[in-house]
Structures are given as C-alpha cells and as structure tokens.
Amino acid sequence: MTGTLTGIYRYPVKGLSAERLDRVALTAGETLPFDRAWAIENGPSRFDPENPCHLPKVAFLMLMRDERLASLDTRFEEESQRLVLRRGGRQVAGGDLTTRSGRQIIEQFIAAFMASSLRGAPRIVSASGHSFTDTAAKSVHVINLASVRELERLAGRPVNPLRFRPNLIVDGLKPWTEFGWVGHEIAVGAVRLRVTARTERCAATNVDPETGARDMDIPATLQREWRHTDFGVYAEVMTDGEIAIGASVEA
C-alpha cells in the first residue's frame, strides 16, 4: 500500500513550536536541516559545545514538563537564523541565534516567562552538526494520520498531529502500518529511510500545541486500548535527496 506525504515539520529550538515546510533536502545520516539545532538549558547542564553529546531532555526546557512553552508561536528565518517569538499574536522577543546578543534577548524573555519552571538561568545552546533530538542517533520522526484518526475515535475528540512532534506526516495507509516498517526501509519520493524503532510517548503529548493546555492523557489512552504507549516511528535517512508535500511513501 502506498501513502502520501502530507506534512513536513521541523523544530529549530527544542521545545518550541513547529515550522511547516513544503519541501526539504535530506542528507544521509542527518536530521532535517535546522531540526532541534538549538535547545534552552534549564539551568546549568553538562552540555559542552566543544564536545557535544546526547543528553536527556530533562536538561532542557521541554513540553513534557514545561507546557507553557506551547503558548509561544515561533518563526525561524533560515537565511538570517533569527528567531521571533509571539504570544497572542504579538511579538514578545526576537534575536539572531548565531550571536550572543541575539540569544540574550530571547533568554531574558524566557527567564521571565518561564520563571516558575527554571532551575537556573536559561541559556540557548548549540554546536556545529549537533541536534537535540530525544534519540542519540540522528533520526526523523514519522507519524501516520490513519493512526491519529483511530486514536481520535477512541478518545472521542480531535487530536492535533503536532502533539507528537512529527517531522513527516503520512496519509493514505491503514492504522498502525508504520509499526510494521520497523527494521525495514521506506521510500519517501526518491529518498530512502530505514525505520529503526517505535516511539514511546511521554506526557508531552498531553499538551495542546496551540493553547499550551494539558488537556489529554494520551499515554494512558494508548496503554488502556492497546497495551503499549507507542505512537509514531523513528527513521534514519539513508540517501540524499529532496522530498516535498505530495510525495509517495511506501515500504
């Protein structure tokens, strides 16, 4: 069965809002360009930009614990690498992520906005070639809209797919087809990805990505109905190439 790519998203700053793309160039062994290229330390962490390594997400501000982040709407300007933060339709901060002064403007806003959640001064961190994904291996997160609709049916309410922080959204398949991809390759247009694992969900999925309200218990629903808490799959990019909305997706 062949599906269709209906969504491409990246998250330039870990924990902040998604950026929708119409097309993107993928590179073997890498994440989407600029996906989680920055993170916001929640007080001092062990992250060393000169020797970057994977750290648990609790070292950084994140939706699982810091749902207020979801009430911020961010815009990332790729050419300038400037990040703009809006709340309620009004710009509240903005700065060039490549400069210390630009990061400080955003850090000062985050320090006030997230004061009750902070263990210390927030600091925006990055390192060349490093991505702050939840997995140690650089990967792309894929979800199946048919599985979302099945979850909606059992939850009795709409479920925004962005609750699952996907990079790629696929439609036109049967529910849970994606779990059968684990250990196999899929083709997204002309690009091959190897699906490596199912995604175990945490409390971040309980947060509405538009309002910041913690209004569902998705892991509990998954556990009750299907005896697991998995939703979506991780995949590694195997070949270089461009993908675009409307591309075919097949095992």
Query: Could you give the 3-state DSSP secondary structure of residue 31?
Result: coil
Model confidence pLDDT, tens digit, residues 164-212: 999 999 999 999 999 999 999 999 999 999 999 999 999 999 999 988 8
With a CB cutoff of 8 Å and minimum separation 6, the contacts of 18 are: 9, 10, 11, 162, 165, 209
User: Is the pLDDT at 44 greater than 90, yes or no?
Assistant: no
State both tokens at 34.
């600029």
User: Is the pLDDT at 220 greater than 90, yes or no?
Assistant: yes
Rounded Cα distance between 103 and 219, Å, is: 34
Query: Could you give the 3-state DSSP secondary structure of residue 64?
Result: coil
User: Is the pLDDT at 1 greater than 90, yes or no?
Assistant: no
Q: What is the predicted pLDDT for the residue at 214? A: 92
Model confidence pLDDT, tens digit, residues 107-161: 999 999 999 989 999 999 999 999 999 888 999 999 999 999 999 999 999 999 9
Domain with CATH 2.40.33.20 in the chain: 3-30+135-250
Rounded Cα distance between 201 and 122, Å, is: 26
DSSP structural state of residue 25 = E
User: What global pTM score does this model have?
Assistant: 0.95
174 within 8 A of 146, measured Cβ to Cβ? yes
Place 64 in a pLDDT band, splitting at 50, 70 and 90: confident
DSSP structural state of residue 215 = -
Find, among 99, 108, 168, 167, the residue nearest to 133 by Cα. 167
CATH of domain 3-30+135-250: 2.40.33.20
